[in-house]
Structure 1
Amino acid sequence: MSKPNPAASPPKHDVFQAIADPTRRGLLLLLVDQEMPVTAISSHFPMTRTAVSKHLRILEEAGLVKERKVGRETRYRLDADPLRELKSWLAFYERFWENKIESLRRYVESDDTDPQQQGEDAAKS
């Protein structure tokens, strides 16, 4: 039985961690329709190419970005498949949002001008 190696590389990032950062979300938007080298990607952000590369590495570890070598250049492209996990997770909670939105719609569209009655109607939902 082997012991865990403390010097082993840190665990890969998951989709939720990867998209938590606004810069990484911006990178994903930039790569939606095209494959780009890091030099071109870097020109869209107010940070060093090294910083952009670190963000791209996190996205790659989460499976959201694929890279390929073309000569000496590394090009990056979006792989949206891992976002399905996120979509499934959010879909579960959608029913709660829909219920609240429906209650708000009924409240706003109510003909009753008595605020107390409207509050009681919303509480029943």
Structure 2
Amino acid sequence: MKVRISGNSIRFRLKQPEVSYFQQHGKITEVTAFGPAPADQLRFMLEVSPAPELAVHFEANTTTIRVPQELAAKWTGTALVGFDGRVDTGKGQQMDLLVEKDFACLDAPEEDNVGTYPNPNAAC
């Protein structure tokens, strides 16, 4: 999973195996370890939620984007590239969320594109 953060916006990009894992297990986590202890790890999680709205939550060094079941099923089971939303953080601010399938980069080495979705711009 690739994670991009800019101000109050977060974008997750998932490769095909990651989308499949998310579809099968209902969640997927990316971990950046700054040290061996759990407190030294930064986690990003995408998980299916029974709630009807897209949501974001931060606790114990983990940022979690919660996706409604129907939206998760549509995204993982169709050609839908991604989904986005603006959520109220409950602290007087809003956060923009974007979750996408990761397409192959046209100018990247092949090894960087392993597991990505075919780029629709690659066909002439």
Query: Which of 1 and 2 has greater Rg?
Result: 1
Same fold (TM over 0.5): no
Q: Which has the higher helix share?
A: 1
Higher fraction of strand: 2
TM-score w.r.t. length of structure 2: 0.24
